Amino acid sequence: MTVGTGAPDLVELESHRRQLTGYCYRMLGSASEAEDAVQETLLRAWRNAARFEGRSTVRSWLYRIATNVCLDMGRSVQRRARPMEMGPSSPPVESFLGPMLPEATWITPVADDTVVPEHADPAEVAVVRDSIRLAFVTALQHLPPRQRAALILCEVLRWQAAEAAELLSTSVPAVNSALQRARATLASLPEERRADTIDVDNVELLARYVDAFERYDVERLVMLLHDDAVQQMPPFAMWLRGADDIVRWMVEPGPSGCRGSKLVPTVANGCPAFGQYRRDPAGGHAPWALVVLEISDGRIGGISSFLDTERLFPLFGLPPHVPV
């Protein structure tokens, strides 16, 4: 392909991949859909590179394409959510588990190393991680798509309203109005659905969690949880509230299939996470769940166990099997 003078080449286009992935993930609430959206964005950009005239920056041009791709994709899917958006908490009783719901129902996790810019300074990394928390990404899904785009562009990526207006083919007053409505919607959400400040550096707590979980010492585990901690287990709509109910779920009805699990560390949505592997009758340990922990004030306040390991583990570079 012959590229016109001043047109971006493949290296320049690829240099925007992580930032675009973060943008598309916040728009769509799904790591796999975000990856598809970025692939389509870069493909469209490359096909049209010869016609790029430099009237805007390459960044603005790519975000305009990505926004259109996300808006097109958003028309064909329902709003993604977490189990706590689906209904009240349940007692830790297996009969409340219910059926497995389709993947498109849920907000799904994203690997930090696919969205955090390389060579970013610590302050920038902290901002990116705060803006991909599960609660924040879920809250964004309550907004109409164009409001969502305006909020992400102006309040997450810190674009000027004029830049966002140009990208969205609208006026600055329209962008400011969209931002005002978006903020009001987010402020009206129940407190448990808002994004809280989450601790990042908890090496000692995580070591205690891994040790207690792998030994299945529920008495030690309950001491690591906030009293009002929450556990969710997509693709099931059931969710639990309270440390006592969470540990009861771990042991009733017994014996638990999670006893003897191994945990492999990773990072998801700006939080510590683990690939959980249960004992495999054929030997070693087989994938069971991607577990994301939300930590505040020195204790665990949220445990999100995503059971779609076939889809998720490759995205996080987790092994397909763990030996004994």
Q: Is the pLDDT of residue 201 over 70?
A: no
How many CB atoms sit inside 10 A of residue 121's CB? 8
Mean pLDDT of the chain: 90
CA–CA–CA angle 80, 201, 187 (5° rounding): 40
Task: Output the pLDDT for position 1.
Answer: 37
Task: Output the pLDDT for position 197.
Answer: 54
Parallel/antiparallel/unpaired status of strands 225-232 and 299-306:
parallel
Torsion over CA: 311, 314, 320, 324 (sign): negative
Which of these, 285, 290, 254, lies nearest to 269 by C-alpha position?
Answer: 290
Q: Which of 199-203, 278-282, 320-324 has the lowest mean pLDDT?
A: 199-203
263's tokens: 């945990």
Confirm if 62 and 41 have CB atoms less than 8 A apart.
yes
62's tokens: 């790519």
The Cα–Cα gap between 240 and 82 comes to 12
Which of these, 284, 290, 291, lies nearest to 311 by C-alpha position?
Answer: 290
Give every CB contact of residue 227 below 8 A, 6+ residues apart in sequence: 242, 243
- Quick: pLDDT tens for 66-83: 999 999 987 765 689 999
The Cα–Cα gap between 138 and 124 comes to 22
The Cα–Cα gap between 57 and 13 comes to 12
- Quick: pLDDT tens for 296-307: 989 999 999 999
Q: Is the pLDDT of residue 204 over 60?
A: yes
Q: In the chain, pLDDT over 90 holds for what percent of residues? A: 76
Give every CB contact of residue 204 below 8 A, 6+ residues apart in sequence: none
**Mean pLDDT to the nearest integer, 227-253:** 94
Query: What's the pTM?
Result: 0.91
3-state SS record for 173-186: HHHHHHHHHHHHHH
The Cα–Cα gap between 83 and 240 comes to 10
**Stretch (H or E) spanning 263:** strand 262-268
The Cα–Cα gap between 292 and 109 comes to 8
- Quick: pLDDT tens for 143-159: 999 999 999 999 999 99
Task: Output the pLDDT for position 30.
Answer: 95
**Stretch (H or E) spanning 250:** helix 243-251
Between residues 202 and 162, the one the model is more confident about:
162
Task: Output the pLDDT for position 48.
Answer: 85
**Mean pLDDT to the nearest integer, 281-288:** 95
Confirm if 303 and 246 have CB atoms less than 8 A apart.
yes
6-11 long-range CB contacts below 8 Å, 24 or more apart? 6/52, 6/53, 6/54, 7/49, 7/50, 7/51, 7/52, 8/45, 8/49, 8/52, 8/58, 9/49, 10/46
What dihedral do alpha carbons 72, 69, 64, 109 form, nearest 10°? 110
- The answer, yes or no, to whether the previous bond of 255 is cis (omega within 30 of 0) is yes
Q: What structural domains does the chain harbor?
A: 1-77 (1.10.1740.10), 203-315 (3.10.450.50)
